[in-house]
Amino acid sequence: MELEVVEVEPMPVASVTRRTPVEEIGPAMAEAFGAVMTAIDSRGLTPAGPPLAWYPESMVEGQPLLMVIAVPIDADVAELDGVDVQTLPGGKVATATHVGPYAELGATYGAIAAAIGERGLRLAGGPREIYVDDPDVTLQDELRTRIEFPVAG
C-alpha cells in the first residue's frame, strides 16, 4: 500500500444519508445507491465520477454507522427529487488504494492509520471510500477502492 497526501477539490454530489448497523451495511448501501442512481437517471444525468461512501462520524464498535452514500454530479445541478444535493468538502487527504474484496478493507484502513501517524499527520474528519470499479463487472480480487482520510499537519 502506498500512501499519498494530496489536495482534493470540493465535490458536488447527489446523496442520501443512512444510519445502519455495521452488519447491515451491504444491503443499506445497495438501497441507498439505488435511490441516488434513480434520482440521477430520472433527470437524464450522467454521474461525474465513481460512487462513494463518506463516513462523517467516528466509527464506534457496536454502534450504528452514519454513512453518506453519494455519486458525483455536475456543479450546475441544484436539486434532485428524493435525494440531497450537496458539496463534499475538499482539502488535504491521505489516500491509498485498496485492491481486493470490500470485506478486506479493514486491513487497508489499519495500514493508512499507521502511515498517517508515522508522518506526523492528524485526522481531520471521517474517511471516504471511492469505488473505482463496478463490482458487477470486476472480479472481487481486482476491485479498487480509493480511501481518503482528511488530514492536518
Whether residue 65 contacts residue 19, with contact meaning beta carbons closer than 8 Å, is answered with yes
Q: Is the pLDDT of residue 1 over 90?
A: no
Average predicted confidence (pLDDT) for the chain:
95
Q: Is 127 helix (H, G, I), strand (E, B) or coil?
A: coil
d(CA 88, CA 65): 18
Tens of pLDDT, residues 39-60: 999 999 999 999 999 999 988 8
Distance spanning both ends of the chain, measured CA to CA: 21
- Identity at 120, one-letter amino acid code: G
CA Rg, the chain, in Å?
A: 15
Tens of pLDDT, residues 21-42: 989 999 999 999 999 999 999 9
Exposure class string for 68-106: b at 16+ Cβ within 10 A, else e: bbbbbbeeeeeebeebeeeebeeebbbbbebebebeebe
d(CA 121, CA 147): 16
Alpha helices in the chain (DSSP H): 25-42, 105-118
**Percent of the residues in the chain that have a pLDDT greater than 70, as a whole number:** 100
From 67, 81, 57, 89, select the one nearest 21 (Cα to Cα).
67
Q: Is the pLDDT of residue 129 over 90?
A: yes
Neighbouring CB atoms inside 10 A of 118's CB total 9
Tens of pLDDT, residues 73-100: 999 999 999 999 999 999 999 999 999 9
The 8-class DSSP code of residue 82 comes to T
The pTM of the full predicted model, rounded to 2 decimals, is: 0.93
Q: What per-residue confidence (pLDDT) applies to 62? A: 86
Centroid of chain to Cα 97: 12
